[in-house]
């Protein structure tokens, strides 16, 4: 790989680690405040990436690096925060709020990065625009992707907010079947580009309007 590609890969990797750390810390913090200290006891109510990497070394380090090295086209990976399933079963609405906290962090990061770009602050430091641009696009992608209502994505766990407790309980028992996760990943892989591409185009046009 040439030096330019190495810089691109390192930029994407750092942005990915930062973004997924805040995503999972959002889940962990929300769970703690809502009565489940499981992730807190695992050290994941933290902006330190190490507790998150220690939990998912393949998803946060190995697969992202291998994917970029092999494809030289972006990064894929995953992370997770532990929670008490008995707590989630007892309080489905609280579990739904916990699920929403992760994508909310990505939306916040995308907005902050967009403001830095929009008002020119990202140009004040040489090379910062590359990082801030990657931060905007990656967090927009993570926000939209995780809102897909497909298990095990966060969007599927947010839906109980709009259900009665009885229906939320039935719903959770169904979506936690392993077959649903496998089917969902296949659906998401094939459908997501059709959902995300127009959203990204609209977001970039809005961000750059008049600039």
Catalytic residue IDs: 24
Taken as a whole, the chain contains a residue count of: 211
Alpha-carbon span 102 to 39, nearest angstrom: 13
- Supply angle C-alpha 86, 89, 92, rounded to 5: 135
- The dihedral built from the CA positions of residue 195, 196, 201 and 202, taken in this order, carries a sign that is positive
180 touches 151 (CB < 8 A):
yes
């Amino acid at each position: 790989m040439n030096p330019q590609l190495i810089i691109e890969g390192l930029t994407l990797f750092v942005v990915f680690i930062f973004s997924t750390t805040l995503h999972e810390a959002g889940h962990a913090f929300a769970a703690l405040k809502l009565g489940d200290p499981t992730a807190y006891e695992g050290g994941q109510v933290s902006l330190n990436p190490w507790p998150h990497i220690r939990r998912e070394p393949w998803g946060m380090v190995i697969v992202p690096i291998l994917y970029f090295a092999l494809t030289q086209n972006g990064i894929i990976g995953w992370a997770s925060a532990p929670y008490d399933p008995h707590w989630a079963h007892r309080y489905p609405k609280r579990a739904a709020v916990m699920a929403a906290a992760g994508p909310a962090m990505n939306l916040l990061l995308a907005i902050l990065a967009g403001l830095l770009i929009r008002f020119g602050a990202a140009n004040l430091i040489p090379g910062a625009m590359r990082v801030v641009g990657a931060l905007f696009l990656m967090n927009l992608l993570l926000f939209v992707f995780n809102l897909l209502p497909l298990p095990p994505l966060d969007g599927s766990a947010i839906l109980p907010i709009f259900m009665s407790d009885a229906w939320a309980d039935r719903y959770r028992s169904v979506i936690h079947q392993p077959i649903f996760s496998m089917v969902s990943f296949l659906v998401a892989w094939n459908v997501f580009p059709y959902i995300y591409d127009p959203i990204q185009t609209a977001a970039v046009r809005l961000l750059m309007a008049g600039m």
